[in-house]
């Protein structure tokens, strides 16, 4: 048997060699173990001590000298099952900590036309979204804007938009197939803000082409509430 197989289940390299040597040759003194495994004597003693602490090796005293022997290999399964039980106890708490960290950390920046296109396709993963802000989206993205709108229709994604009144005159407006409310032109924003799922995408198309996507449930909720306020004061 190759000692590396024991390494796969948590044994160190030297622990694997020594435990396997004791399995193959039976009880041995430290000197004999050192010779058979070709591990220096000091390291052999230290490794045997660790194996004893872990419960894989025991010893007896014969003629005032320690003779070491391997514990029944079935203990390996017992140990792994014990670790699995302990893991099941602590993983839920670790998951909570992980989720809290994730909640605070997910923010990504996308640059250029391809980056903005990636954001649009991410939006299409949700069954609905709300958007407010700039009316220059169709002018700059053009073909990509039309593809996005077409795909949205195919997926039957629901959407609402709050935008300034002048967008009504835009030739691409009829392609949006979304519920709209309108605000005065002086309140127009240079950014488009999309709220979808637990994410917010803030997209700046002019003079830059950059988008910031933040995944945070509480922040998404606050932007959603802000959208609802705009929706409430907007004109049909």
State pLDDT tens for residues 145-190: 888 888 988 999 999 988 877 766 766 666 667 788 888 766 666 7
CA distance 115 to 109: 8
Tell me the pLDDT band of 72, cut-offs 50, 70 and 90: very high
Tell me the pLDDT band of 218, cut-offs 50, 70 and 90: confident
Is residue 11 over pLDDT 70?
Answer: yes
Q: Which residues of 137-176 are buried (b: 16+ CB within 10 A; e: fewer)?
A: bbeebeebbeebbeebeeeebebbbbbbeebeebeeeebb
Query: How much is the pLDDT for 71?
Result: 94
CA distance 181 to 232: 9
Assign 146 to helix, strand or coil.
helix
Range in 26-30, 80-84, 188-192 with the lowest mean pLDDT: 188-192
User: Strand 158-164 relative to strand 179-183: parallel, antiparallel, unpaired?
Assistant: parallel
CA distance 142 to 108: 24
Structure tokens at 14: 């030297």
The secondary structure element, H or E, covering residue 74 is helix 74-105
CA distance 17 to 24: 10
Q: Which residue carries 């399964």 as its tokens?
A: 77
pTM passes above 0.85: no
Is residue 19 over pLDDT 90?
Answer: yes
Mean pLDDT of all residues in 220-227: 92
Query: How much is the pLDDT for 155?
Result: 93
CA distance 79 to 85: 10
Is residue 12 over pLDDT 90?
Answer: yes
Q: CA angle, corner 105, sides to 102 and 106, nearest 5?
A: 85
Q: Which residues contact 200 (CB under 8 A, 6 or more apart)?
A: 193, 194, 213, 214, 216, 219, 220, 223
DSSP secondary structure code for residue 172 in this structure: T
Omega within 30 of 0 (cis) for the link into 207: yes
DSSP secondary structure code for residue 167 in this structure: G
Query: How much is the pLDDT for 87?
Result: 87
């Amino acid at each position: 048997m190759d000692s590396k197989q024991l390494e796969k289940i948590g044994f160190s390299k030297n622990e694997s060699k020594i435990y396997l040597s004791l399995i193959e040759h039976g009880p041995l003194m430290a000197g004999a173990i050192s010779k058979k495994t070709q591990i220096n004597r000091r390291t052999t003693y230290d490794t045997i001590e660790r194996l004893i602490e872990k419960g894989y090796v025991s010893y007896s005293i014969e003629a005032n000298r320690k003779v070491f022997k391997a514990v029944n290999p079935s203990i390996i399964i017992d140990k792994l099952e014990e670790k699995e039980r302990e893991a099941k106890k602590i993983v839920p708490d670790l998951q909570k900590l992980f989720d809290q960290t994730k909640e605070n950390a997910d923010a990504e920046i996308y640059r250029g036309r391809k980056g903005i296109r990636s954001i649009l396709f991410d939006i299409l993963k949700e069954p609905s979204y709300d958007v407010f802000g700039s009316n220059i989206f169709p002018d700059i993205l053009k073909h990509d804007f039309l593809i996005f709108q077409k795909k949205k229709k195919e997926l039957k994604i629901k959407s609402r938009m709050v935008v300034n009144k002048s967008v009504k005159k835009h030739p691409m407006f009829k392609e949006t197939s979304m519920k709209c409310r309108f605000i005065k032109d002086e309140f127009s924003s240079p950014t488009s803000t999309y709220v979808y799922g637990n994410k917010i995408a803030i997209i700046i198309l002019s003079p830059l082409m950059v988008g910031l996507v933040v995944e945070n449930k509480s922040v998404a909720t606050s932007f959603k509430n802000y959208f609802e306020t705009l929706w409430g004061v907007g004109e049909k």
